[in-house]
Structure 1
Amino acid sequence: MAVQHYQYLLLMLGCLVITLPLELVLGARVYARWRLAVLALVPTVLLFSVWDVIGIVRLHWTYNPDFITGVHLGVMPLEELVFFIVIPICGLLTYEAVGTVLKRLRGRDG
């Protein structure tokens, strides 16, 4: 299988790597509080997976087989499920990191 078939997954890995310093340097504590992260992710993953499957079945969108592995969960490519997990994690990391930084800045002012 050519490297291009992993493009979608590599992009998701890149998103996680780019946001990792938010956890390690800024102390976002998303990975440290993984149970809360899972609770936040479950409804999002379920809702968007159903939405995606409906879109695929109704032929509203498709996925270029040149850029995915070909592994499917029913009609949905594995990469799409990974997207529904990774992007919310990156959003949580960003949200928590901003909150942490603002809290630190307010501490200096007060």
Structure 2
Amino acid sequence: MDRWQYLLVLAACLAVTAPLEVFGAGVYRQPARTVKSVLPVAAVFLLWDEVAIAAHVWTYNRGYISGLHIPFRVPIEEMLFFVVIPLCALLTYSAVSAILDRVNRR
């Protein structure tokens, strides 16, 4: 079970923040905008991780990852982290902004 922990935490983050989509214009309903926001930053950090792994500055505990890797020796969980966490942040920001707008209009 330990080797799935990273993926389970990412899934839990999505499960907790996904319902926030109902509060505003949404993140999932604006896929082009979401991709433009998340992918450039994810690409930079994936490259950063690869450099750190190659230089033996950074590593992952094999006991907590699935063992699946994308090119450049980066665990699949790390690539998903760079997509899931910003997505959750965008969902949270969008929901809080929508709620505050509603409250301030009163």
TM-score by length of 1: 0.90
Over the aligned positions, Cα root-mean-square deviation in angstroms equals: 1.1
Q: Structure 2: which amino acid aligns with 1:30?
A: V
Q: Deviations over 1:39-65 (max 9, x none)?
A: 111111111101111111111111111
Q: How many residues align?
A: 105
**Does the alignment pair 1:30 with 2:22?**
no
Summarize the alignment of residues 8-23 of structure 1 with structure 2, pairs less than 5 Å apart. Answer: 8-23=6-21
Task: Give distance in 2, aligned partners of 1:48 and 1:61.
Answer: 13
Summarize the alignment of residues 93-104 of structure 1 with structure 2, pairs less than 5 Å apart. Answer: 93-104=91-102
Aligned to 1:75: 73
Identity of aligned residues (%): 43
Summarize the alignment of residues 32-51 of structure 1 with structure 2, pairs less than 5 Å apart. Answer: 32-51=29-48
Aligned to 2:89: 91
| Unmatched tracts of structure 2, length 5 or more | none
Aligned to 2:50: 53
Q: Structure 2: which amino acid aligns with 1:51?
A: W
Task: Give distance in 2, aligned partners of 1:66 and 1:90.
Answer: 25
State the SS of the aligned residue for 2:7. helix
| Unmatched tracts of structure 1, length 5 or more | none
Alpha-carbon shift at residue 95 of structure 1 (Å):
1.0
Task: Give distance in 1, aligned partners of 2:9 and 2:25.
Answer: 22
Tell me which stretches of 4 or more aligned residues in structure 1 moved more than 3 Å.
none
